[in-house]
Amino acid sequence: MNAIDARLVFYAETVELAQRVASLLSDNGFPCEVVELVKAASRAGPLGILESVLDPLSASVSIAVDAAGARIGGIDPVNGAVVQVVKLEDAPRAREFISVNSLKISTWRAELTICTTCEECGGTSAFPPSMKGTVQNCRHCRRYVDVPNPDDTTEWPADFGSPEDGSEPTA
């Protein structure tokens, strides 16, 4: 693990969740920053190497290189983000602080993510609330998934989708 990776203290399914955790950490004496995975990956060249080594956010190089690994590990590289402490020496205490506050963070996670299960592969994908009621790609198999809208109380009739003339649907 290099010094950049060692500063990472939290992986979040959404940027909003990462921002809340970063705010909690900062308010409690752990200066930190949020790095959006999609932005980190877009700054990387074809081989995952940063185009500018002098970039002040060069800490995102390990994130960009490992975006595929993040997807496998349960983090969406498009909607996800990481929280990293500014000072390497704060990382162990920040992780412990996050652990102590895991119930609060779990509550935020429930508020700030909408989970859906892919009908094709059975994988679970998490999306920010701004995507509720839309169609997105499953982060596992890339097929389309409906992101549910918990506010939508529409009740569809039992025969919805059947031909109105009573005939059987044809394939």
pLDDT tens for residues 54-90?
Answer: 333 444 434 443 443 444 445 566 778 899 999 999 9
The residue assigned the tokens 């704060």 is 90
Same structural domain for residues 94 and 23?
A: yes
Same structural domain for residues 17 and 94?
A: yes
Same structural domain for residues 24 and 57?
A: yes
SS3 annotation, 6-43: HHEEEEECCHHHHHHHHHHHHHCCCCEEEEEHHHHHHC
Same structural domain for residues 118 and 106?
A: no
Choice between 144 and 126, residue whose per-residue pLDDT is larger: 144
Report if residue 10 sits inside a domain: yes
Same structural domain for residues 102 and 122?
A: no
Report if residue 161 sits inside a domain: no
pTM beyond 0.75, yes or no: no
- 129 pLDDT band, cuts 50/70/90, is confident
Q: Is the pLDDT of residue 142 over 60?
A: yes
Q: Tell me the residue range of the domain where 120 lies.
A: 114-146
Q: What is the mean pLDDT of the chain?
A: 77
Same structural domain for residues 125 and 106?
A: no
